[in-house]
Amino acid sequence: MIYRNFKDKKLSMLGFGTMRLPLKDGGKIDEEHTRRMVDFALENGVNYFDTAYPYHGGMSERIIGKILSEYPRESYYLATKYPGHMISEDYDPAATFEEQLQKCGVSYFDFYLLHNVYENSIKVYRDERWGIVDYFLKQRSIGRIKHLGFSSHGQTDNLRDFLDEYGKEMEFCQIQLNYLDWTMQNAKEKYELLTERNIPVWVMEPVRGGKLTGGEVERKMGLREICPKDSAAAVAFKFIQRLDNVTMVLSGMSNLDQMRENIETFEKPVPLDDNRTQKLLAAAENLKDSLPCTACGYCLGGCPCGLDIPGLIGAYNDFRFDAAFSVTMFVESLPDDKKPSSCIGCGKCSAVCPQKIEIPSVLKEFAEGLSRLPSWAEICRQREAAQAASNRE
C-alpha cells in the first residue's frame, strides 16, 4: 500500500469512501458485504474511512462505525463531515456533532470536515448566528477532533474566498479531481491554489462515480493505446498518483471486487509519466462532447442581462456530461437574474462569438434541462426525511 505522511500520521493513499456502500434489495445497506469490504481493506493496508452525515440517509455513519468498533480504535482513521451545505432553517453544530459521535460509537474523530463549502453554503459557515467554524475549532482544541478541514464543490473564486478567511485554520481540503475535471471543473486551478497555500489535497470522485470506468470509456479515449496493461479505473488513479500534494484518494467502492482492484492499483506507486499524462488529457476531450467556448469574453460586453456567459457554458458542458448535482447547486447559487433562464434571446452574444455558438439556444436548453431535475432544496428535504427515519431505527 502507498502511504503518504500527514503531520504525525501515516495515511494509506487509498481511502474507503462510504457514500456508495453495497445495497440489498429494497435499498438498505448490505451490512455483511460491507463488513467483508472493511475487513479486506484493513488487512491490506487501508486505514482511512470516510463517511458523512447525509450518506445513505444517515445510515453510513451508523454502519461503518459499528463495523469499525470491532477493531482497535488506533488501527484506523475515521472521517466525517458537518452538513452545512444542506439547506435548513437553522443549524446546530453541537447537536449534530454529538449525534455523529454517538452513531459512530467513538469519542473523537480523526478527521472532520465542513461539508461542501460552495457558493451558497459559504454564507452558512460564515454566519455568526450558528458559530459553526468556532464550534469545531473548539472541538479540535479539546481533542474531540484531531484534524479539521473542509470539502468543496465550489468554483475557484469561492475556494479562494474561504481560504482567505479560514485557510490558516484548515488543515486539508477535499476537492473533486480526476483527469476529466482537471479542466472541466477547473480542478487544476484548485489544486494549484491549495498547493500555493500549503494545504494538502484530499481527492473525491477520482473516477467520477464510476463514469470514468468501463469499456465505453476505454473505447472513446483509446485507453488501451495509452496504458495497455491498465483498467480504466487504474488509469484514473495513476493520473492522481503523480500529484505530489495529494495525500488522500477516496474511492466510493460498492463491492469487494472493486476494493480488490483498487488496492492492487495502490500497492506501489506507478504514476503516469508526462507523455502518457498529456495523451490522457488530450483523449479526455473525446468524453466531453463540449461546446468549444474559449472564454474569450467577446459575448459579455453586449449582453443586456449581464450574464456570465462563459461561466454558464462551462457549467452547461459539465451538465451535458453528467447532469451533476454540483452544477445544480452552482446555478441555484446565482441571483435569479443571472441564471440561464434569464436570457432574453436577443442574439447579440452569438453575433460576436468567434466559435459561432448559438448561445441563446444553449442557455434555453440548459434552463429546460435544469427544470427537469429536483432542486437542491428538494434533495435536502429528502435527505432530512431519510435521516429522521434512520434515527428512529
Looking at the structure, do residues 20 and 122 belong to the same domain, yes or no?
yes
The tens-digit pLDDT sequence of the chain (393 residues) is 999 999 999 999 999 999 999 999 888 999 999 999 999 999 999 999 999 999 998 999 999 999 999 999 999 999 999 999 988 889 999 999 999 999 999 999 999 999 999 999 999 999 999 999 999 999 999 999 999 999 999 999 999 999 999 999 999 999 999 999 999 889 999 999 999 999 999 999 999 888 888 778 888 888 999 999 899 999 999 999 999 999 999 999 999 999 999 999 999 999 999 999 999 999 988 777 678 888 888 899 889 999 999 999 988 888 887 767 778 888 988 999 999 999 999 999 999 898 889 999 999 999 999 988 888 778 878 877 877 776 666
Looking at the structure, do residues 246 and 293 belong to the same domain, yes or no?
no
Looking at the structure, do residues 320 and 242 belong to the same domain, yes or no?
no
Q: What is the pLDDT of residue 354?
A: 81
Domain with 335 in it: 289-393
Q: How many domains does the chain have?
A: 2
Q: What is the pLDDT of residue 328?
A: 87
Angle at 107 between CA 106 and CA 109, to 5 degrees: 75
CB 79 within 8 A of CB 113: yes
DSSP 259-288: HHHHHHHTSS--PPPHHHHHHHHHHHHHHH
Looking at the structure, do residues 67 and 179 belong to the same domain, yes or no?
yes
Q: What is the pLDDT of residue 323?
A: 64
Q: What is the pLDDT of residue 295?
A: 84
Amino acid in the structure at residue 101: L
Which of these, 34, 112, 39, lies nearest to 78 by C-alpha position?
Answer: 112
Q: What is the pLDDT of residue 7?
A: 95
Residue 44 corresponds to which cell in the numbers above? 491490506
Largest distance between two CA atoms of the chain: 66
Looking at the structure, do residues 340 and 241 belong to the same domain, yes or no?
no
C-alpha distances in Å from residue 166, one per residue of 114, 134, 138: 11, 11, 14
Looking at the structure, do residues 170 and 276 belong to the same domain, yes or no?
yes
The CATH number covering residue 176 comes to 3.20.20.100
Q: 309-322 and 274-288 helices cross at what angle (nearest 10)?
A: 90
Looking at the structure, do residues 168 and 243 belong to the same domain, yes or no?
yes
Residue 117 to residue 120: CA distance in whole angstroms:
8
Last residue of a domain, one of 280, 307, 329: 280
Looking at the structure, do residues 237 and 306 belong to the same domain, yes or no?
no
Looking at the structure, do residues 200 and 136 belong to the same domain, yes or no?
yes
Q: Which residue shows C-alpha cell 459499528?
A: 66
Q: What is the pLDDT of residue 62?
A: 96
Q: What is the pLDDT of residue 393?
A: 62
